Structure 1
Amino acid sequence: MGKLQYINKRLLFYTIICGIGSIVYGWEVGMLNIIYSMRASFGAKFGLYEFNPQKKIFDETEDKNLIEMIVTPSFTVGGIIGSILILYIIDRIGRSNSLRLGSIIYMAGVIVQVCCNNIFTLCLGRFIAGVASGIALGICPLYLAEIAPKQVRGTLGIVNPLGLQLGMLFSCLFDTLCLKLITKNMSAQWRTAFAGLLIPATLFLLLVWFLPETPRFLLLKNKEDQALKTLAKIRGQGDCHPSVVEEFNEMNARLKQELSEGICSWKELVQTKNIFYRVVIVSILQLLHMLVGVNAIGYYSTQIYSKYLGISLAKYGAWLATLQNLISFICTLPAMRYIENVGRKPILKWGAFGLGVCMVSIYALCHITDSIKDSNKGLSQLTGWLCVLIMYLFSVIYGWSWSSVVFVWQAEVFPIRMRAKANSVGTFFQYIGSLIVGSTTTTLMKYLSFYTFLIYAGFCLISFIFASLCVRETKGLSLEEMEQLYGDSKSADELKVKREIDEKKAVNNVES
């Protein structure tokens, strides 16, 4: 059975609920790519396009890139606020109650977007939904890390990026159907596209109430009896089962040792070398996680097809974006298996390398296609479609690597007494990176054209170097052992030996 023996129906149910929270986030991120293609409806309503009666087409307005610079990052700005809000709620009201609050805020943001009539209310709705996403994106991976057995913690952590990919796929498919099928009522076209968000938001709002509080949070609040019962419930065993009792006692002993020093203050976080070092690593990882350029592809792929590759936006654009997200989702599934076998560090390192190769290739193919489009249309079409395939490959590699691993690593590397602050800081920098990319890409493409992709290639190179030098492997360690990993060299060596012994025992058990 391998790793599957550690996953029961109840644990799987809780994991799916957290995954739905990520689907809402992915839907919000993915839908603008298609909605920006609704020139006659959304584009005309919000000033991105205006009808040219002579050519009988919708041309871009002079303010198009400025409007996109305002609309696109409004969601991300809300996410920054949500990541800060985590600081004040996660250790006060708990992990599950924080997610319930986030689900209510999500619903409010979606309703405002569906009912909006101008740029201000549209951005307000996206901002409100962004606040909820900041809460969900910061807490869902942490929640799963706290309830998962260490043997499958990485595997279950992949559910969040899978939810993101699935949300982007559903949004592209739903919005593409709106674009293709609703062709007479232009107001209904874009409003229905926004209303699609109600599907995952409603599911999340209803199901999140089934999530129990994590045993570690209950221990944080000195509720030992309730923590033991909750752990037994999550493991699908009685509270007297030897494996449950052993796990609980180890968890309780280590947490008491941690909490004897009290909740980590901001002063301690900055002044304690090994704590500050981890926070810096997570912050840079989350920043680079966005600066490799994934949102440039996610938000603007249909415009890249049209501007640089000569591919018909009306005929192919929306369907190509949908297919891209479908392939990304399907190809991210294997990450659930290999993250526990390969480890976090190699995936981050070689994933960054692959993303960099893709970005250089996208630049080169856009350059070639643009330079020969008038002299050799057949070859330019070939290179254009080849570029589309490279963009697909970029999304697949991202799903396999940085999308899958960064939040897993962040959720597991911090002890409970500093987990709230550290995860809030990490999520904050993820949104800062998203804000930078989302607000500048359309302008960079306007003035730098396809040279923009070389900038993202440079960040991929930085990511490769950073992952190689600064990230330490967390595979196979309990959450309470992370302090040793970033302690002195002797503690780290002892931990390495222990992990090797545990891995050998696991292999022998499987063979026997």
Structure 2
Amino acid sequence: MVQDADAAQSPTPERPTTNRRRSMASTYFFGALGGLLFGYDLGVVAGALLFITPELGLSPLQEGMVTSSLIVGAMVSALGCGPVSDRVGRKPIVFVAGFVFAIGAVLAGIAPNALVVILSRFIMGLAVGTASVMVPIYLSELAPARARGKLSGLNQLMISSGILVAYLVNLALSPAGAWRWMFALAAVPAVVMMIGVRFQPESPRWLVRKGRVDEARAVLRRSRDADEVEREIAEIREIDAHSVGNASTMELLRTRRFRRVLFLGCGLALLQQIVGINTIIYYAPSILTSIGFGDSAAILANAGLGALTVVVTVVMLMLVDRMGRRRPLIYGALGMAACMLTVGLTFFLGGFSGGGAGGWIAILALALFKVSFSMSWGGIMWIMLGEIFPLRVRGAAMGVATFVNWIGNFAVGLFFPVLLAVGTGTVFLIFAGIALVAWVFAVLVVPETKGRSLEDIETKLVGTH
């Protein structure tokens, strides 16, 4: 009670007490931990496949199925988990995702044959897809407007950190060929997330929608001052008063005002994937070996690129609530286009192999691409997806947008080797063109959401009727 009284009288509401800061840090950390699972599972498979293939005798088709089964699982769960969360809450779904992921990780670690590896990856994909939907929603609904970009962006930081951890685990376990441990160790953060989320609050927006206003008020007091709490509760209730029930996916597609914001979300989600980031992850080691790096050195240098991504993501989190969302997307798209153009031209102009300058220019362009991506579309896309959808349809709409994101991921992974047949330089020029499309989309379609409450964003984008 003394703490609440002190908070209510604080002359600087933007500076919560130490206890409140600790409570907030715990909540956001465990809320974002699903992103670590997401990133780890995306990053670990490349190293694991080097040892799974000879031990289990995988065919090329089976190799592709081991990789893509995760994405298929993610697509399935992305569409289904959002509407379920609108009914039962965000917190239980995050817990279930951790439980499912732990089962999949352990199953992968003891898999006796290729079929079980593929099945376990599909199970982990169900959890990864769920986390990719729920974590941005949960963080955005908890965070105060003034810091929502930084706090929601923890999801991308966790994804980047998960990929880096996967690279480091691959490095540590590769000498022993311990691919089973590469997979099984993912169960550790999954269990930590399950335990931690049990002690975290439910989304205050969901609580208000279910008529549990006192509980929502208690959650908001963890990070808001008394006046802010009452103002936010009033805004949520006003928006909720104009909403009846939870929208289905079909209603999203049928209703014009929802279609408009769904187009925005799906556009952001698709462009983030097809702009070429996964090809950088796939192709960077090959470029490194082509300019004289050994295999181990190439893997280590690729881990360095992963570390760069984490550092730049931290910088993005520190700046996003000052920069906003729209400007970084605009300038980031231009930066990615320039980098992809540079890489493409090095292939056409030669000097790429044998230690030539072209190879080093390409490596620098790849690093700058990752900087541009991490400062813009990498994290801000997820921040905006958590912000732009109306409360009534947030779960279902987020599921559709995330499904589209996974479709883009799947398509790039499937068609990139085919596209290489037309020439590597041409492929990177195509990605430069897609980055320019992303620039046009950001200029013409993307609104600014910085510093606005979720309810204000909803009113501006879709109205209240």
Fold match by TM threshold 0.5: yes
For 1:208-223, list aligned pairs within 5 A.
Answer: 208-223=197-212
For 1:283-302, list aligned pairs within 5 A.
Answer: 283-302=266-285
Identity of aligned residues (%): 28
Q: Which residue of 2 aligns with 1:428?
A: 403
Return the offset for 1:122. 1.7
State the secondary structure of the residue aligned to 1:32: helix
State the secondary structure of the residue aligned to 1:348: helix
Asked whether the equivalents of residues 171 and 196 of structure 1 are also in contact (C-alpha less than 8 Å), the reply is no
Return the offset for 1:459. 1.5
Return the offset for 1:167. 0.5
Return the offset for 1:446. 5.6
For 1:91-106, list aligned pairs within 5 A.
Answer: 91-106=86-101
- Tell me whether 1:204 sits opposite 2:164 in the alignment: no
The alpha-carbon distance between structure 1 residues 102 and 392, as it changes in their structure 2 partners (threshold 3 A), is same
Tell me the distance in 2 between the aligned counterparts of 1:412 and 1:142. 8
Asked whether the equivalents of residues 138 and 427 of structure 1 are also in contact (C-alpha less than 8 Å), the reply is yes
Asked whether the equivalents of residues 291 and 360 of structure 2 are also in contact (C-alpha less than 8 Å), the reply is no
Return the offset for 1:128. 0.8
Which deviations, in whole Å up to 9, do the C-alpha atoms of 1:49-108 show, x marking residues without a partner?
xxxxxxxxxxxxxx64x4443222211111101101213420222100010111111111
Return the offset for 1:409. 0.9
The alpha-carbon distance between structure 1 residues 142 and 17, as it changes in their structure 2 partners (threshold 3 A), is same
Match of 1:155 among 150, 155, 167: 150
Return the offset for 1:214. 1.2
The letter of the residue matching 1:429 is: V
Tell me the distance in 1 between the aligned counterparts of 2:14 and 2:168. 32
Tell me the distance in 1 between the aligned counterparts of 2:266 and 2:135. 18
Q: Which residue of 2 aligns with 1:24?
A: 37
For 1:268-287, list aligned pairs within 5 A.
Answer: 268-287=251-270
Tell me the distance in 2 between the aligned counterparts of 1:119 and 1:310. 35
Asked whether the equivalents of residues 82 and 134 of structure 2 are also in contact (C-alpha less than 8 Å), the reply is no
Tell me the distance in 2 between the aligned counterparts of 1:45 and 1:368. 41
TM value normalised by structure 1: 0.82
The alpha-carbon distance between structure 1 residues 447 and 271, as it changes in their structure 2 partners (threshold 3 A), is closer
The letter of the residue matching 2:230 is: V
Match of 2:232 among 232, 247, 250: 247
Which deviations, in whole Å up to 9, do the C-alpha atoms of 1:193-231 show, x marking residues without a partner?
223323322322221212211111111111222222232
Return the offset for 1:266. 4.6
Return the offset for 1:135. 0.9
Asked whether the equivalents of residues 287 and 363 of structure 2 are also in contact (C-alpha less than 8 Å), the reply is no
Match of 1:384 among 356, 359, 380: 359
Tell me the distance in 1 between the aligned counterparts of 2:419 and 2:342. 18
Which range moved further: 425-434 or 273-282? Answer: 273-282
- Tell me whether 1:349 sits opposite 2:330 in the alignment: yes
Return the offset for 1:155. 1.1
Tell me the distance in 2 between the aligned counterparts of 1:34 and 1:363. 27
The alpha-carbon distance between structure 1 residues 465 and 103, as it changes in their structure 2 partners (threshold 3 A), is same
Q: Which residue of 2 aligns with 1:461?
A: 436
The letter of the residue matching 1:474 is: T
Return the offset for 1:447. 6.0
Which range moved further: 335-344 or 448-457? Answer: 448-457
The alpha-carbon distance between structure 1 residues 399 and 46, as it changes in their structure 2 partners (threshold 3 A), is farther
Q: Which residue of 2 aligns with 1:54?
A: none
Q: Which residue of 1 aligns with 2:8?
A: none
Q: Which residue of 2 aligns with 1:501?
A: none
Q: Which residue of 1 aligns with 2:386?
A: 411
Unaligned runs of 5+ in 1: 49-62, 492-512
Q: Which residue of 2 aligns with 1:59?
A: none
For 1:120-199, list aligned pairs within 5 A.
Answer: 120-179=115-174, 181-182=175-176, 186=177, 189-199=178-188
Q: Which residue of 1 aligns with 2:369?
A: 394
Q: Which residue of 2 aligns with 1:235?
A: 223
The alpha-carbon distance between structure 1 residues 236 and 477, as it changes in their structure 2 partners (threshold 3 A), is closer
- Tell me whether 1:224 sits opposite 2:216 in the alignment: no
The alpha-carbon distance between structure 1 residues 446 and 89, as it changes in their structure 2 partners (threshold 3 A), is same
Q: Which residue of 2 aligns with 1:44?
A: 54
Aligned-residue CA RMSD (Å): 2.4
State the secondary structure of the residue aligned to 1:228: helix
Match of 1:316 among 264, 284, 297: 297
Unaligned runs of 5+ in 2: 1-10
Asked whether the equivalents of residues 89 and 206 of structure 2 are also in contact (C-alpha less than 8 Å), the reply is yes
Between structure 1 and structure 2, the one with the greater Rg is 1
Q: Which residue of 2 aligns with 1:505?
A: none
The letter of the residue matching 1:334 is: V
Return the offset for 1:285. 1.2
The alpha-carbon distance between structure 1 residues 138 and 267, as it changes in their structure 2 partners (threshold 3 A), is closer
Asked whether the equivalents of residues 204 and 216 of structure 2 are also in contact (C-alpha less than 8 Å), the reply is yes
Which deviations, in whole Å up to 9, do the C-alpha atoms of 1:245-300 show, x marking residues without a partner?
333233333322x32x4433455433433321110111121011100111122244
Q: Which residue of 1 aligns with 2:3?
A: none
Tell me the distance in 1 between the aligned counterparts of 2:179 and 2:253. 47
The alpha-carbon distance between structure 1 residues 47 and 317, as it changes in their structure 2 partners (threshold 3 A), is farther
Tell me the distance in 1 between the aligned counterparts of 2:167 and 2:40. 8
Tell me the distance in 2 between the aligned counterparts of 1:447 and 1:178. 36
State the secondary structure of the residue aligned to 1:316: helix
Which range moved further: 153-162 or 309-318? Answer: 309-318
Which range moved further: 331-340 or 195-204? Answer: 195-204
Return the offset for 1:47. 4.7
Return the offset for 1:4. 6.2
Asked whether the equivalents of residues 352 and 358 of structure 2 are also in contact (C-alpha less than 8 Å), the reply is no
Tell me the distance in 2 between the aligned counterparts of 1:81 and 1:3. 43
Q: Which residue of 2 aligns with 1:53?
A: none
Q: Which residue of 2 aligns with 1:35?
A: 48
The alpha-carbon distance between structure 1 residues 438 and 224, as it changes in their structure 2 partners (threshold 3 A), is same
Which range moved further: 113-122 or 468-477? Answer: 113-122
State the secondary structure of the residue aligned to 2:247: coil
Return the offset for 1:450. 4.2
Match of 1:5 among 12, 15, 23: 15
Tell me the distance in 2 between the aligned counterparts of 1:223 and 1:443. 53
Tell me the distance in 2 between the aligned counterparts of 1:10 and 1:201. 21
